Chains A and B, each alone.
Chain A
């Protein structure tokens, strides 16, 4: 999130697209309701009439997998109808930058497309040498502030998005034209200076083969309307798990190190890694961040002379996301799997394949509160334990209130959890488990030697006999190597040479700045202000609650909305309701046009060369689709996604219905916890699918009848809930039905039921490899 939950109260219009706030983030509805009480409007765009939709002023139905088209339509609507925030676009985005004249687009492909057989039959990768800025001899980006040059971003942008007229968008998305115009008029009203529009979303935006482009389209729309950096605005990814933000911050993803530093690639040494440092913006300090992380990890052994032990880090060669590595596991390339508090054989894509892949492991280690399906995969109805050689260790884990530590919420607030009771039975915290495991492994390498033991033997690992959370916090926060003094913020990196400070995750510098009174434990509620609550916990970066907040003001430092200022220049100095995201020691003119401090150009990007599938957001059909894409020539599907199992793709003749998956307010993710809790089991006892009355009539099914839903990957049985919450949509002139399924069930626990991901395809986003759970195709029939 660029903003935070409490800030929702300041929005004039909130658009929830690809999310279901009322069910999946229920308490945050409180802040939406506060906004509505003050006259704000709520728009919900979703394939189903959800509980959030029931509270909306405008509900727009949409075909799963067409969010990009819908958002592109809104972008075009704002341009054509002159509803965008002109000063903001000119000052804070790269609209005026000139692009290489050789850049272009036709028939579904940008310039530079090359065949990429490794991504699957017919798939492409891009050579991006035309996706570049025009620069002068000194490397400065050429600009046309009048925005008239045919090669400036603004002109290219306008032309690209002009194809998304209302009629085209309506045909693709199934949203009736009048409903689309109602949404567009209402949301684009926030393009006026002083108005705040908030776009909130969740997995209904990201879980697609084009998920990153959906997110980009949201960002572009918000920039166009001047909604980033202001109170009540923002690009607000509603995180579905209590610490998905923090786990990501800590670098628990294959492509990053803590604090979003990239993993080094094969053969890359520290000099090459640092040479790839962005040339401008705050990332210019990256060499200091990586040195600090390595000092935290390798202590005295890490010196400038030995590149701070950079060569101890493993190098990355290719996609090693969970989607990817389960395909490697299926081929027998993976022998051992550690699975902490996760349940991929319910939550992953194509879970029948995932269970079979796990049978190829030599060993599996799971730590969980309950016996989940991943640990018990050998008990699945379609598995025969007598044929499975995998050794499985199931470790009893302490529950959240049985241990202490911090979690980062969606708004990046890092809050402290106290321990209320001892772990149940023999359970231990994950901290304890991994601490003991690392020490045991290190002991073995000490005794026996082995492959490349140095990074294990020399890794700092001194949290006490029973690991002390505070010690870990201090290492993450960072400290001065010379005297152990805790860091207070980014200045401690910037003002010192590499190696002077040690810090595990640079973005957390300041969260635990004082061992006696760490910022993350603060509990002082704000009584005056805009809800930033700067003395409640601590938010990264630098306790900032609304990022890019320089953009909440004009060039002279006057807030676009004087009634809700985030920061403002009073003629002499910057005043603040939040921590400034810019140099507040200089007059506003010096920071105008420099609001987006994390890009080298210091401006936000309407044109972004860093995306693997194109600098603008094109609508591509999901991998499995019930219709044809009229906009993109012969390219139906995202040309840059990897197709892992081409033979697993169904055709619309065999599978004529659109399948989508989602969550319910009574259950949580794979249900491993909530299906084992009697109260919640009683509240929502069994698996079902939702279908429209018209589809029910067509297949001869009444409410409560058992049905079989089938995709190219498998078939499952469940009860049908016949409901007008899902309705057929007219797509390119034809009526198409939708089958909706919750993702919460599996074969273990107090409440068992079919796993919808037995049906989902192994296909991922071209940029992130997040699986395409939200749109695939299926058939449905009466069972028995």
Chain B
């Protein structure tokens, strides 16, 4: 296995490349190469492009959030905010490419307003919302309120419907009155604790997008 400089950085567990790269003395040295033929695009040495990028933003690696190809992405982060997202050239699956959805994934977080400033996508749900019976509106609520109220409703439904035995007297230990969906859009660790929640509480109506 050959190890390139970039591979070395990743192998060393570097998530944030900015500071580490600076310590290693990787600041830009080479100027852009001017086109020798009129009309030709200017070219930039690959290592120089890399180094330019890490001058102004931290680079955080992740995996795209759409299909099952699992393309690597680089999130460029300034002042705690994502400022750009590109394909990860080191990821052997996509080698830096992203599709139309992947290239637009920044929009999930920010959009540009009329003045060209990046603002949080206003369509994002940013507060806990509650809709009361027969209401036509959402109400804003706190997390504490929501978690406690959901827990109460969950317990009331479970307690009222839980079956330890079926009609034949066989052990069943379940509630048939609660269902759970989720999710191919969430991480493994999240799905794993969903599964534990569902098993511990006796939910058997459970599914996710693999069947939808």
Contact = CB atoms under 8 A, between A and B. Distances in A.
Contact of B209 (A241, A394, A413, A430): A241
A371 interface: yes
Nearest to B146: A393
Contacts of A419: 60
Given A314-B202, A317-B204, A473-B189, 6 more contacts: A5-B93, A252-B183, A252-B194, A342-B182, A665-B101, A674-B101
B97 interface: yes
Interface in A240-274: 240-254, 257-258, 263, 266-267, 269
Contacts of A437: 147, 150-151, 154, 197
B131 interface: yes
Query: Among the interface residues A257, A322, A406, which one has the most CB atoms of the partner chain B within 10 A?
Result: A322
Contacts of A608: none
Contacts of A410: 68-70
A491 to B, nearest CB: 22
Given A30-B94, A238-B68, A472-B193, A526 B120 contact: no
Contact of B124 (A28, A324, A425, A666): A425
B177 interface: yes
A653 B131 CA distance: 44
Contacts of A395: 125, 128, 146
A666 B172 CA distance: 46
B174 A314 contact: yes
B2 interface: yes
B181 to A, nearest CB: 5
A310 B60 CA distance: 42
Interface in A326-380: 328-329, 333-342, 344, 347-348, 362-363, 365, 367-371, 378-379
Contacts of A279: none
A335 B125 contact: no
B7 A525 contact: yes
A427 B120 CA distance: 13
Contact of B179 (A30, A338, A362, A680): A338
B200 interface: yes
- 3 closest residue pairs by CB, A with B: A425-B126, A239-B68, A409-B70
Contact of B80 (A253, A421, A677): A421
Interface string B189-212: 111111111011111111111111
Interface stretch (A213-221, A443-451, A494-502): A443-451
Contacts of B152: 444
A610 B108 CA distance: 43
A239 B146 contact: no
Interface stretch (A116-124, A227-235, A764-772): A764-772
B179 A5 contact: no
Given A253-B208, A527-B1, A749-B123, A434 B136 contact: no
B208 A242 contact: no
30 contacts: A25-B67, A27-B94, A242-B66, A244-B184, A246-B184, A254-B204, A266-B168, A312-B173, A315-B172, A339-B182, A340-B181, A393-B149, A395-B146, A401-B60, A401-B109, A409-B93, A410-B68, A410-B70, A416-B63, A424-B121, A426-B128, A434-B190, A437-B150, A437-B154, A438-B197, A463-B193, A476-B188, A517-B13, A524-B10, A669-B209
Interface in A307-326: 311-317, 320-325
B71 interface: yes
Nearest to B174: A314
Nearest to A371: B125
Interface stretch (A186-194, A280-288, A528-536): A528-536
B129 A394 contact: yes
A314 B203 contact: yes
A663 to B, nearest CB: 9
Nearest to A348: B212
Contacts of B44: none
B63 A415 contact: yes
B85 to A, nearest CB: 8
A521 interface: yes
Given A241-B209, A337-B178, A524-B1, A680 B107 contact: yes
B20 interface: no
Contacts of B192: 250, 258, 472, 475-476, 504-505
Contact of B211 (A263, A321, A401): A321
A320 B143 CA distance: 31
Contacts of B200: 297, 312, 438, 455-456, 459
Nearest to B138: A394
B68 to A, nearest CB: 3
B157 interface: yes
A250 B195 contact: yes
Nearest to A310: B171
B75 interface: yes
A347 B212 contact: yes
Interface string B79-114: 011100100001111110111111010011101000
B174 A241 contact: no
B50 to A, nearest CB: 15
B69 A250 contact: no
B92 A338 contact: no
Given A25-B67, A434-B193, A452 B202 contact: yes
A342 B181 contact: yes
Contacts of A475: 192
B13 A317 contact: no
A266 B172 contact: yes
Given A394-B138, A524-B11, A315 B98 contact: no
Contacts of A422: 80
A243 B166 contact: no
Contacts of B60: 401, 418-420
Given A30-B97, A297-B196, A679-B104, A253 B182 contact: no
A87 interface: no
Most buried by A among B73, B77, B107, B149: B107
A40 interface: no
A528 B202 CA distance: 50
Interface in A476-523: 476, 504-505, 508, 517, 521-523
A528 B192 CA distance: 35
B23 interface: no
Contact of B109 (A246, A399, A428): A399
B153 A363 contact: yes
A400 B62 contact: yes
B155 A441 contact: yes
Contacts of A459: 196, 199-200
B30 interface: no
A458 to B, nearest CB: 9
A324 B205 CA distance: 9
B98 to A, nearest CB: 7
